[in-house]
Structure 1
């Protein structure tokens, strides 16, 4: 889009200059042709230079990262010690509410025969009352990668038996039985999700490791979550969740949000992996979950408030009781940090701290900064951190 804009602007400039040279054209045709050709040549050369520079900057992520690094160092220098004032935004501000659209509620036809709670999947009591000779076949859905999956072997159980999730959290279920009233054969099939138990390794110093579950919502600001999902917001509050009011993005889009959390780095710090330029993938060793496996857009964004909300996504943390007991100081520090500027780099450092893999923490420090880019939230974070 940038390249097209430059070309379009150049062509418009050529047309304007051509119009102003009409009087010269009628008086001295040969000179007019020469001047016009020279003008077109110069403009084309400038456009070509700009296009090459833009394409090079787009492809060469290393140079882009260096330029951003210089800007970041300058920003740190200019804002050192000033801190960051967290915006106070009302979720139901009238300017935002005027642009909100009520969406129809999602409705599903029919009734579920089977439900899963944690690791147990079972036939609903209401279905057992209506049917007899009821059996269900369960098959684990095992994901090979993000695009491929396979079904595990079939396990046939009667209506009063429970299927325990052990291999995966996802299962395909197919049931059949006879109606108690009409003796009509009935069938049902569907896909269910639960949460299987995952054993964690014991640590000699601190006991068992914590299990961490991350639930992500795409393109969801904190205030948008309060407006659109009030019951879920209320449930989080009932669970004692800590909403990080100072949580801020460090880039545009899902990649910029997830890379720092999962790797402690920005996507610009990795080799080129965009699909239109290469078929390479990021080394799986860079992601935090690889090490853990070893151990067991809308109109609102164009308003003044919307521009702030876009940079302030939802980040809520529910602290388990075991952490409050084992690390009371850490739990207290986490609660004290809810009003401090927080970034995805801090979440990554916090995860490595929680899971006892602090040696994987990214210790990078922006030149000129007084502390590391990513800080664990289990320690009190200084309010004088700038947003550079």
Structure 2
């Protein structure tokens, strides 16, 4: 489409129709989650918009507008960009190995002037797009059980190993589980799935003992017995569980959480903001926010379901799998049901990188919904 074509009445009408096809209830749920996050950030900063709440709202506003813009982009454009985005993400991960910045013992960042970013965030989207495009181009029989599985396994395994080597085990797990979800949704045989789960169970103990870094191994041991070192490695989990339990049914009240207000709770604005919510608003507040997350996940999966193209279905479902894993992993981590791996609660936690990645993904989900009748020919992203 040319720039001049945008001025034609027919094209303007089509843009209006697309705008109306966006699921605005989905958008409202996102606003409510982000708004709750801003309220919590305002509270834990001592009833101040600085340094977190104002930036959180500004970032969400920008990301929401970006999501709406990306929702208008034809799903066939996403299809055409799938492999290039994956390739760029892979090259940037390799660049991290060569010239990446090292912070707190981890080499995860690339810097361009004063701007720095984590290429692993690009790969979260890249792996979804690439695997969705791959499975769009092969038959259901090949997706079910054949040597073709080696191709998506390699596409997934290379970035996972690169991210794990940084080391960033939490992100590596997130990418691996997202890719695995897409492979399963594409129609993988249950024999392969059950065999893979059995192999994973067998591989976990030696992986923990001989492959993990010492600090990662300590996180697992702390998860199994946090009270063994309550003032050291178990401090995060213990303080989080105290905050969760002290909130009770209705919470202590807005701005009255002792664990967060008195700075006993570490990373209260990022990884453990859900514990802050539990302390101030209790069980009812937690269930209400989780209900919003469940609604977002349901509406996102519904958008995947109504897409007529296999690529649209898998890309939207894969994006929602990533989002679901964020929520489940962070919730389990805060409750002491999983090791602390540095995965934030999306849109509730403070942080621009994850919010940007998630909202770009939601732009893809909404594009799959808006362009659900678009036909994509295998191997081509033609808009004709």
- Bin for the TM-score computed over the shorter chain: under 0.3
Of Structure 1 and Structure 2, which has the larger fraction of its residues in helix?
Answer: 2
Structure number with greater Rg is 1
TM-score, normalised via structure 1 length: 0.21
TM-score, normalised via structure 2 length: 0.21
